[in-house]
């Protein structure tokens, strides 16, 4: 198969008004700089995935701003919600892109060569933590089994791979304050990943920094925000003057490569207010 390129953006935290800031960071302007940088420095992408927290205020105007900044990427866009999203508003603004195999949730599924990519909905209304329930576990396993059944025995054994996208990472990261607002039910997702060796990666957001962990054969990756950055350590939230970033994933026959890239420098200094 030809290499398939995926761009992951996460934790945009855009407001309804351009000048509004999150801890001193003008998140809408920062997203604009990130998108401009990507367009100027990267080859084209086959898919663009947003892993939640499109906005900070959950207002229609904020989602409209995101859609406007993304421009023609809208035709290749896949999305799942984060804790700072509103499912109903997200659906209304991205009506042509947002679907869901599970009633009441926003999930996605697409094929990319030998790969099956699935987006999970970990949003809990009114809460910062996430939740993965048995219904979504069953959906993942059903989608994987259905896709495998359409492959030859040789293809299924040698080349079939699965990638997962969700907001809350399904691992503890060693940050007390962040782990406290992590994913509830991560044990059931971890168990499902281990018993499905085709699942090769799990790309997440929520933590506003880059990390890599392992669940069995699956690499669990977190990606920097397009706006404000968090330090990975500490007992309390620690905002740092890091450059905004994004992740590039390249899918090959039975493997993948990935890297995080950032803007050349940090334009803004966060303030603790």
Report mean pLDDT in 10-residue bins for the chain, 273 residues.
96 97 97 98 97 98 98 97 97 88 89 95 97 96 89 66 98 91 97 96 98 98 97 83 97 96 93 74
Q: What angle do CA 19, 93, 99 make, to 5 degrees?
A: 135
Stated as kind and residue range, the H or E segment containing 159 is: none
* pLDDT for 273: 58
Q: What pLDDT is attached to residue 157? A: 57
pLDDT attached to residue 232: 82
269 in a domain, yes or no?
Answer: no
Residue 272 falls inside a structural domain: no
The reply to whether 92 falls in a domain is: yes
Query: What pLDDT is recorded for position 39?
Result: 98
Measured distance CA(191)–CA(270) in Å, rounded: 38
CA-based angle 77:164:101, to the nearest 5? 65
> Does residue 26 fall inside a structural domain?
yes
CATH number of the domain within which 115 lies: 3.60.21.10
Beta strands in 36-159 (DSSP E): 47-51, 77-80, 108-112, 115-119, 130-131
Identify the three-state secondary structure at position 191. Answer: helix
Element (H or E) spanning 39, and its range?
A: helix 27-41
- The answer as to whether 268 is a domain residue is no
- Whole-model pTM: value is 0.95
3-state secondary structure of 126: coil
Domain count, the chain: 1
Domain boundaries, position 225 = 4-262
């Amino acid at each position: 198969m030809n290499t398939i390129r995926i761009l992951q953006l996460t934790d945009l935290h855009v407001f309804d008004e351009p000048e509004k800031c999150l801890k001193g960071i003008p998140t809408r302007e920062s997203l604009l700089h990130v998108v401009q940088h990507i367009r100027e420095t990267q080859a084209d992408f086959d898919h663009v995935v947003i892993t939640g927290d499109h906005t900070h205020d959950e207002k229609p105007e904020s989602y409209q701003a995101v859609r406007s900044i993304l421009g023609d990427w809208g035709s290749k866009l896949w999305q799942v919600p984060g804790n700072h999203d509103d499912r109903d508003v997200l659906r209304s603004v991205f009506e042509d892109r947002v679907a869901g195999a599970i009633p009441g949730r926003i999930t996605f599924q697409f094929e990319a060569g030998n790969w099956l990519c699935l987006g999970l909905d970990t949003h809990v209304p009114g809460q910062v933590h996430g939740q993965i329930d048995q219904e979504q576990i069953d959906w993942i396993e059903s989608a994987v089994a259905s896709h495998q059944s359409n492959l030859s025995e040789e293809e299924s054994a040698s080349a079939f791979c699965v990638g997962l996208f969700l907001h809350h990472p399904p691992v503890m990261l060693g940050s007390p304050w962040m782990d406290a607002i992590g994913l509830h039910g991560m044990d059931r997702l971890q168990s499902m990943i281990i018993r499905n060796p085709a699942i090769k990666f799990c790309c997440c957001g929520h933590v506003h920094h880059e990390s890599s962990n392992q669940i069995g054969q699956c690499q669990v990756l977190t990606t920097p925000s397009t706006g404000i950055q968090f330090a990975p350590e500490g007992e309390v939230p620690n905002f740092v003057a890091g450059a905004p970033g994004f992740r590039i994933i390249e899918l090959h026959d039975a493997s993948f490569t990935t890297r995080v890239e950032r803007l050349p420098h940090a334009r803004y200094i966060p303030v603790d207010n």
